[in-house]
Structure 1
Amino acid sequence: MSSAAQLAKRFREVTLDGLWIANTNFKDQLSNVSWEKATAKVGSLNTIAMLTFHIDYYIAGLIIVFEGGDLEIRDQFSFDLPPIESPEQWENLKSKFLSDAKKFADLLEKMPDSKMNEGFVDEKYGTYLRNIDGMIEHCYYHLGQITLIKKLLN
């Protein structure tokens, strides 16, 4: 299996269908969250909806780069979630996340292994491999937060 295919598998595990590292994934954790719980505040923690938006913001931004576009995302905007005021808006956010996660993994899987050691957009960001590994780690970090917030809400 190519390096890109292995990375795509790891990314799918945390976002769509895996159980190996955390015994869960984003799709599983978000599947039974109502919009009220998704937007409920627990102390000073981010909401489940906010964390979902935050991770999708980065996934969507990297998809643009994978497709040959510019890196347009900025950390300062990664929590700029518009208010979620209905079940439909929450379902739309979840659907966008899952669709973007699938697209990210599909694009990654098709990437030649030679691309992994190339510079990612700007030298200061390191290589494609570093950024893809970072995305996977970032996903696990926030998946853990979502799992804990769900427990606190229950």
Structure 2
Amino acid sequence: MFHGFKKLYFVMKNLVKKLIQKKLKISFAESCTGGMLASSITSISGASKVFNIGLITYSNQAKINILKVNKNIIKKYGAVSAECCEVMVKNLTRISKAQINVSVTGIAGPNGGTKKKPVGLVYIGVKRSNKLLIIKNIFKQKTRIGIQKATVKRTLKIINSLI
């Protein structure tokens, strides 16, 4: 799929192993990564023991209809915002019943950025039990796939730090 896949594979393999050992389930609600997180985890044998749900809520309509993000949040803050990311991960938690839930929303480019919200701006939300993290990232990669890949790598590091 992309360069550096071997390294990502080993990170995912270790993550799946840790999740299995600790009997934890994980779910994703992805926007700008378009399923790359779910794809990376399901490429690992044994993922079915830990991977619960992967939703690609790419459009605002999907965020509203599936993840029940209030349209006023999107109107006021935008789909690429800490507020939207937080609602995405909280509502995913209700839907999935997994112990670890992750949401990602951002601008992968090469178009769509503004001064306030540049290409590479990505919010990653992770909820585990009562711990909720919403992390703002500005990735400097020059390509869409580069930003998506950087998002997946950063997300995996965050998840690993919480297990």
TM-score normalised per structure 2: 0.36
TM-score normalised per structure 1: 0.38
Bigger RCO of structures 1 and 2 (CA < 8 A, at least 6 apart): 1
Larger Rg: 1
Higher helix share: 1
Higher strand share: 2
